[in-house]
A and B are shown apart, each in its own frame.
Chain A
Amino acid sequence: MEKAKTHIDYQDAVITLRGVSKSFGENHVLKNVDLDLYRGENLVVLGRSGTGKSVLIKLIAGLLKPDNGTIDVLGISVNDLRDHDLMKLRLKIGFSFQNSALYDSMTVRENLEFPLIRNKRNLTRTEINKEVEDVLEGVGLSQAINQMPSELSGGQRKRIGIARTLILRPDIMMYDEPTAGLDPITCLDINSLINEVQLRYKTSSIIITHDLACARSVGDRIVMLLDGKFERQGSFKEIFETNDARVKAFYDYNFIV
């Protein structure tokens, strides 16, 4: 299933990484990497678990500081940003976490309201309700509004997680393993949701995954993270037309059945 073509502006990089390194003790997760995310693009970062894919997006969000190199987001350098400005910048970035990261102690409605209430304090109650209902409608889960996260399935939680980030209308989306732990049918739903978001909200996205099916259906461009470096870039086809055993192994593993 190939995805529909979207408008990508290759002149406008919303995220730029230059010479970024990050290590945890002896574990060198990123070794002097460069990366660009262009406006309107869905960039898939493929890699095996534990290769530091999540570290990449945490660096971009300023949750972690790089050991070396510069990270620019929307033209602002994240490295030496003050807390307050970093907070503001983050509002332009939406995060979908691997485990959805819904607040367990709140209902779906409260989860969705949370970023709104805390960041846009001048909104009225009706405006908030309307936003919540709209965005919930967008992910197709209007009926779950008063449920607790624990009552939802993994796929539903994922959708709510995405909805929660969309409520702030971000320019950039980060998906951390959007299909991990979900059955194949639900995976397809999530993939189409990611594409839908790209179309409707005009977002530029980084999707981190090890799921090739997902990568193929959502990715405009794919990079492979191997041993702390981005080894290959290009479309899905271009990536796997290679004799590199490490890339082959990845491909074989995913389509072994």
Chain B
Amino acid sequence: MLNKLRSFFTEFANIHRFLLRFWRELVTPPYEFKEIIRQCFEIGWKSLPLISVTGFIVGFVFTKQSRPSLEEFGATSWLPSLISIAIVRALAPLVTALIASGKIGSQVGAELSSMNVTEQIDAMEVSGTNPFKFLIVSRIIATTISIPILTFYVAGIGLLGGYLSLASKDDLSFLSFFTQVFETIGYQDLWAMVFRAVVFGFTIGAVSCYCGYYSSKGTEGVGKAANAAVVASMFLVFIEEIIIVQILAIIN
């Protein structure tokens, strides 16, 4: 019990040290721009198809499922407002973050831990490259950039999905749909979406890198690291969502 508690706090200290090191390495030269672009490509661009499809389906299905309950009140004309609030305020960042946790978390966690296991990280270090900067900082920056960008895609495509679902039943013009969509949301909703996405992106990147970089040796460590990266980042995304919602409620 005492050991468990001790290892828990050791872990906490490690995470703390990891984050401190991230910020230190972030601001000191050299800067790995090329690697950041490469990681944006691997993390952002390659997740785009999966996340776009998910976003479309979420928008489409959400609209379809919401219709009957609004129909009961004869309030189907409120569907665009409902979709816009749901997607911009909650679904777009959350869905993106969860899908990204799964895809990027496992990808980065497994990649880094296998590099760790096969001593590639050591090899990098002894051949004159700071692996923390090259591997960790670039990946965390890439997720912090890519996930907000992916969130914007999901929001756009999700609203499109909602529109298509609506248009299949109602004769609603694209323009009037979007007018209604933007009538319901405000700037604070957009900024909240961006803020959330940035926080989620940083979390997913940091958690996945931490799990991968400090994985235990051996092939078992790879699986464990990938799993831990996904579980921990999803869990943290939810925790952060709760906190952010509370903070926004206080601000407004």
Contact = CB atoms under 8 A, between A and B. Distances in A.
A91 interface: yes
A219 to B, nearest CB: 23
Contact of B127 (A88, A90, A104): A90
B114 interface: yes
A115 B119 CA distance: 16
A165 B123 CA distance: 9
Contacts, number: 60
Contact of A90 (B111, B119, B128): B128
Contact of B119 (A87, A88, A99, A118): A99
A61 B128 contact: no
Contacts of B118: 97, 99-101, 104
A168 B126 CA distance: 11
A161 B129 CA distance: 16
Contact residues of B: prevailing secondary structure: helix
Interface string A130-165: 000000000000000000000000000000010011
B127 A164 contact: yes
Given A63-B125, A90-B125, A101 B119 contact: yes
Interface residues of B, number: 15
A10 interface: no
B71 interface: no
Nearest to A102: B120
B128 to A, nearest CB: 5
B126 A118 contact: no
B114 A115 contact: no
B122 interface: yes
Nearest to A164: B127
A97 B116 CA distance: 12
B130 interface: yes
Interface in A48-89: 58, 61, 63, 83, 87-88
Given A88-B128, A95-B126, A164-B123, 6 more contacts: A91-B127, A93-B126, A103-B115, A115-B127, A115-B128, A118-B128
Interface of B: 111, 114-115, 118-120, 122-130
Interface of A: 58, 61, 63, 83, 87-88, 90-91, 93, 95, 97-105, 114-115, 118-119, 161, 164-165, 168
7 contacts: A95-B127, A97-B118, A101-B120, A101-B122, A103-B120, A103-B124, A165-B127
